[in-house]
Amino acid sequence: MREFFRAEEDARLGRWRVPGSPNWTCYPTENTYEVVVFNEDEPQYGSFRLDRGGDTWPYARAAAEAYFDAHPEPKPWHDAKPGEVWVIVTRNVGDERAVQVYGDEFYYNDGVAYPITYDAIESARRIWPEPAV
């Protein structure tokens, strides 16, 4: 029961706990590349930026890396809107294919569909409507 209330409080505070090390918590910042790491056993904290590294405190770095592994950065195609046309490359096909967005899926002309969050999509670019410059 204690875990339930702790999870509820974590959600309210936007706090994430490292699996297997629940006393290590991460607090995301407004910068999607930065997280503040706090050890609840000791009054220690540190920040870590994914794009620049961070503290030399190795445990803070390990906790931050676990956070970023669990919360991958959204890809531009995750915001694809119905009716748009994209060119995507997937690991299993390898070459570029034009697709149209229906709901939250990319559809090929041959009827094959992939969710826009499919992890095998390696790259994508919107071709219609043309992106505003």
pTM: predicted TM-score of the whole model, two decimal places: 0.58
Q: What Cα–Cα distance (Å) separates residue 38 from each residue in 35, 59, 79, 102, 108?
A: 10, 10, 32, 42, 46
pLDDT tens for the chain, 133 residues long, are 888 889 899 999 999 999 999 999 999 988 777 889 999 998 788 888 776 655 557 778 888 889 988 988 888 999 999 999 999 999 887 789 999 999 999 999 888 898 998 888 999 999 999 877 6
Number of helical (H) and strand (E) elements in the chain, helices listed first: 2, 10
Residue 115's pLDDT is what? 92
Q: What are the beta bridge partners of residue 18?
A: 21
For the chain, the domains span 2-70, 76-128
Tell me how crowded residue 52 is: count the other CB atoms within 10 A of its CB: 8
